């Protein structure tokens, strides 16, 4: 239990009724979880408003209710705290509830359209190689020591962030690296603490729509909020949006890049394509001097590595340790190699929209494969235009497209495949249709030619296939292993 007065100490608030000198048994923002003595925060969401559940939480014994609007009819004996923004308040209340665990960690936050997930794993690999104990919060999972927790959101709700921080300190972690989405910043999930290092990787016009950001200006603004919430900012100076991202920043700055005059720069970039490795090597100059070999392809991998190097330099990691950490880093579902033959290359990647698929295929095309074979499907109950666009991209950039199923959800997979076919038909690209994903992968492996690069796109780190509301176990790595074992 904690005293209410301490939990709301850092907030601007008005006490509408009751006493702030009282004990609280739990912090809750889901009315179903309220019990005697709970502090309930009324969150206003896209589909529901926590204020409408006030009668229910009163009946369940809530001791305090945090609101952002005037309310009436609350029984005496229940304290009512009014704030301007309940999401903002939840972040600070949660930090206080867990005794401000971020103050016991080095907290690294990475924002940007692309590269967040990969860079968090690169940073963690380097830090672990250097002897640090580093937690991770991101799109794929939350890592706390040997514990791996499936992620529901790129950036969790503020209460969960604080809970994870607390668990990390209890497990002896000294650092945490986390993905910071524009939604997370917009919804104040990362308030209640200060990032030691905030990072901007890049920005492209994504996540704009009625349920996310109203326009590009709003998207840029939300990304920029990180740089008034961190002590040191590290930015990709090559990105054209960088000046706007840094408007109003309050942090010290370090820059990285390839084309611009950056503090940490990559030079002499060479593509590597040999059995067992499809990657890149380059020299780092400026504040760090080292030769780097990456088992990840493409210029975007150089940017991710430069970002990780910039972060780890700020944490005092030696360049030689960075080199080894990068060489041994593995990121599930991000241009992930699955070595089954020296004759061709097989990769798994999460690219599941046209922009990501075009970037991926263009990158792989630079390695001059014998053929570039793209195996992909599209998710059901999602925009049909995405299917047309992805089909057109693959038809234009691949030598062969194997159209298959992804997560059909409540749609007929054959209808989704027909939409992808419509996109491919806008090009002269060759294709085959194999609805069963395992059989599609089998076809691509059994018909591979020397020098081929085969990319399995769309599923990435996912280990399931969603069909009619049920998530069935399906990991492409397991499918490949079965195929190689003749199953």
- pLDDT by residue, tens only, the chain of 487 residues: 999 999 999 999 999 999 999 999 999 999 999 999 999 999 998 789 999 999 999 999 999 999 999 999 999 999 999 999 999 999 999 999 999 999 999 999 999 988 999 999 999 999 999 999 999 999 999 999 999 999 999 999 999 999 999 999 999 999 999 999 998 999 999 999 999 999 999 998 655 555 565 678 888 988 999 999 999 999 999 999 999 999 999 999 999 999 999 999 999 999 999 877 899 999 999 999 999 999 999 999 999 999 999 999 999 999 999 999 999 998 999 999 999 999 999 999 999 999 899 999 999 999 999 999 999 999 999 989 999 999 999 999 999 999 999 999 999 999 999 999 999 999 999 999 999 999 999 999 999 999 999 999 999 999 999 999 999 999 999 999 999 999 9
Cβ proximity of 278 and 299 under 8 Å: no
Closest CA to 144 of 117, 163, 116: 163
At residue 161, the pLDDT reads 98
Contact 407, 466 (CB under 8 A): yes
Superfamily for 2-97?
Answer: MurE/MurF, N-terminal domain (3.40.1390.10)
Distances (CA, A) of 387 to 366, 377, 419, 462: 25, 8, 6, 19
Q: Which of 443, 173, 455 is nearest to 334 (CA)?
A: 455
For residue 396 the two structure tokens come to: 């234009």
Token pair, residue 25, equals 């048994």
Side-chain-side CA neighbours of 290 within 13 Å: the count stands at: 22
Q: Which two tokens stand for residue 85?
A: 């923004």
Domains 2-97 and 336-484 fall in the same CATH topology? no
Q: Residue 353 in contact with residue 205, Cβ under 8 Å?
A: no
Q: What is the pLDDT of residue 45?
A: 86
CB 287 within 8 A of CB 313: yes
CATH architecture observed for domain 101-327:
3-Layer(aba) Sandwich (3.40)
Q: How far is CA 235 from the centre of its chain?
A: 17
- The fourth-level CATH superfamily of domain 336-484 is Mur ligase, C-terminal domain (3.90.190.20)
* Domain residue limits, the chain: 2-97, 101-327, 336-484
Parallel, antiparallel, or unpaired for β 290-294 and 277-286?
Answer: antiparallel
If we measure between CA atoms, which residue out of 144, 152, 130, 159 comes closest to residue 27?
A: 159
Instruction: Report CA-CA distances (Å) from 227 to 220, 245, 250.
Output: 12, 8, 6
CA contacts within 13 A on the Cβ side of 267: 12
Give the C-alpha separation, 155 to 478, whole Å.
28
Say how far apart CA 273 and CA 263 lie, in whole Å: 29
Strands 23-24 and 2-3: antiparallel
108 membership: H or E segment, kind and range: strand 106-111
Task: Determine the pLDDT at residue 206.
Answer: 59
pLDDT of 218-272, one tens digit each? 889 889 999 999 999 999 999 999 999 999 999 999 999 999 999 999 999 999 9
Angle between helices 299-314 and 319-327 (to 10 degrees): 140
pLDDT per residue over 57-99, tens digit each?
A: 999 999 999 999 999 999 999 999 999 999 999 999 999 999 9
Distance of CA 343 to the CA centre of its chain: 33
First to last CA, the chain: 55
């Amino acid at each position: 239990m904690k005293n209410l007065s301490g939990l709301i100490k850092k907030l601007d608030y008005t006490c509408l009724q009751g006493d702030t000198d009282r004990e609280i048994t739990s912090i809750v923002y889901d009315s179903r979880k309220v019990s005697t003595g709970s502090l309930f925060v009324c969150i206003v969401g896209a589909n529901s408003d926590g204020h409408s559940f006030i009668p229910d939480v009163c009946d369940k014994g809530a001791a305090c209710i945090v609101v952002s609007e005037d309310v009436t009819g609350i029984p005496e004996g229940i304290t009512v705290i009014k704030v301007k923004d309940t999401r903002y308040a939840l972040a600070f209340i949660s930090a206080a509830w867990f005794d401000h665990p971020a103050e016991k960690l080095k907290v690294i936050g990475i924002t940007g359209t692309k590269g967040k997930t990969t860079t968090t794993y690169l940073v963690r690999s380097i830090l672990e190689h250097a002897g640090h104990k580093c937690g991770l919060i991101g799109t794929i999972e939350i890592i706390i020591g040997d514990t791996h927790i499936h992620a529901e959101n790129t950036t969790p709700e503020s209460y969960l962030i604080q809970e994870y921080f607390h668990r990390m300190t209890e497990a002896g972690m000294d650092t945490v690296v986390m993905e910071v989405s524009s939604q997370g910043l917009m919804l104040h999930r990362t308030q209640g603490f200060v990032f030691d290092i905030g990072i901007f990787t890049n920005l492209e016009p994504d996540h704009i729509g009625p349920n996310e950001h109203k326009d590009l200006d709003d998207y840029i603004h939300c990304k920029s909020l990180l740089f008034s919430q961190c002590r040191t900012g590290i930015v990709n100076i090559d990105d054209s949006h960088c000046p706007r991202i840094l408007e109003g920043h309050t942090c010290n700055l370090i820059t990285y890049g390839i084309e611009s005059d950056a503090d940490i720069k990559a030079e002499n970039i060479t593509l590597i394509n040999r059995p067992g490795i499809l990657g890149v090597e380059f020299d780092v100059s400026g504040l760090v001097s080292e030769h780097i070999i990456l088992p990840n392809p493409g210029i975007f991998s150089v940017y991710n590595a430069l970002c990780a190097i910039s972060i780890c330099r700020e944490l005092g990691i030696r360049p030689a340790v960075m080199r080894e950490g990068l060489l041994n880093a593995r990121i599930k579902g991000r241009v992930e190699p699955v070595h089954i033959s020296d004759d061709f290359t097989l990769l798994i990647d999460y690219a599941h929209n046209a922009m990501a698929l075009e970037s991926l295929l263009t990158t792989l095309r630079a390695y001059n494969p014998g053929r570039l074979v793209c195996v992909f499907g599209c998710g059901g109950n999602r925009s049909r235009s995405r299917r047309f666009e992805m089909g057109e991209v693959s038809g234009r950039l691949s030598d062969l497209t194997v159209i298959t199923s992804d997560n059909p959800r409540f749609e007929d997979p054959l209808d989704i495949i027909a939409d992808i076919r419509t996109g491919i038909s806008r090009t002269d690209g060759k294709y085959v249709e194999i609805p069963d994903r395992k059989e599609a992968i089998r076809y691509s492996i059994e018909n591979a030619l020397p020098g081929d690069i085969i990319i399995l796109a769309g599923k990435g780190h996912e280990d399931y296939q969603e069909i009619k509301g049920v998530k069935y176990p399906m990991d492409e790595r397991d499918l490949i292993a079965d195929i190689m074992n003749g199953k």
